[in-house]
Amino acid sequence: MTKPQQFSPPRGTCFMSIIAIIGNKGGVGKTTLAINLATLLSEQAATCLLDADPQGSILHWAAMVDNANMPAVFDATANVGNAVAQYRDDYQHILIDCPPQLQSEQTQAALASADVVVIPVLPSPLDLWATVAVNEGIASARESNPDLKALLVINQMEPSTKLSKLIRDVIQELGIPAATTTLNRRVVYRASVLQGKSVSQMGRTGAFAADEMRNLLAEILAI
């Protein structure tokens, strides 16, 4: 097991982050990342998770949660910009789970408000090529949000070195930096949601997943 990196900010520093999980494809892991990253952040600092997807997956998950150590969850589908403005003074970290359409008003508002956008992608060239539109969306969001940072995350990786190398080669052509950490395909990502938990709350079954998620979070906070 690789040693998870440290992701907590230095003591005494004022550190705030707005992280949007976006994409132009369904089922790539946006909600999974949002739940797990927000839960890890909530162990360190006041964190809220905004459900900006009309599918309401985060709200469904939150209804199953039976644990005090969880991020606060709010429905932000009606107006993401207003929700960010409303909660930014009360929470150190805000995560936004977006619908699978780049052009949706929720994703556009998230692009306008975020410090960082995280884009999960499946390890397939077809999925990666679909992110070209995301790159264009980020470029146009930077006209009004010039400091916006972006990070691709390969999710549901299969243990294949050859595939991993091929995928890295395709990613290089896309123009969006990719996280060094990849998330493997693991049953615990599904099982944890069913139990209203994050992978870091699944004990030994979730240990590998929790480690990769901590490593990813450290990368996101460092960009």
Ligand X SMILES: Nc1ncnc2c1ncn2[C@@H]1O[C@H](COP(=O)(O)OP(=O)(O)OP(=O)(O)O)[C@@H](O)[C@H]1O
Residue 58 or 216: which CB sits closer to Mg ion?
Answer: 58
**DSSP secondary structure letters along 168-217:** HHHHHHH-S-B-S---B--HHHHHHHHTT--GGGSGGGGHHHHHHHHHHH
Q: Up-side HSE of residue 9: CA atoms within 13 Å toward CB?
A: 14
Q: Which spans of this chain sit near ligand X (rule: CB under 6 A)?
A: 26-32, 53, 55, 57, 100, 155-156, 183, 185-186, 189-190, 193
CB of 183 to ligand X, least distance (A): 5
CB of 132 to ligand X, least distance (A): 18
- In the list ligand X, Mg ion, none, the entry touching 29 (Cβ below 5 to 8 angstroms by class) is ligand X
Residue 21 or 170: which CB sits closer to Mg ion?
Answer: 21
Which secondary structure element, helix H or strand E, spans residue 116, and what is its range? strand 116-121
Residue 27 or 175: which CB sits closer to ligand X?
Answer: 27
CB of 212 to ligand X, least distance (A): 9
Residue 48 or 58: which CB sits closer to ligand X?
Answer: 58
Q: Which spans of this chain sit near Mg ion (rule: CB under 5 A)?
A: 30-31, 57
- In the list Mg ion, ligand X, none, the entry touching 108 (Cβ below 5 to 8 angstroms by class) is none
Residue 199: is it exposed, middle or buried by C-beta count within 10 angstroms (0-12/13-18/19+)? buried
Distance (Å, whole) CA 171 – CA 167: 6
- In the list Mg ion, ligand X, none, the entry touching 28 (Cβ below 5 to 8 angstroms by class) is ligand X
Helix/strand/coil for 106: helix
- In the list ligand X, Mg ion, none, the entry touching 185 (Cβ below 5 to 8 angstroms by class) is ligand X
Residue 88 or 186: which CB sits closer to ligand X?
Answer: 186
Q: What does R_g of the chain's alpha carbons equal in angstroms? A: 16
Question: For residue 157, what is the DSSP state?
Answer: B
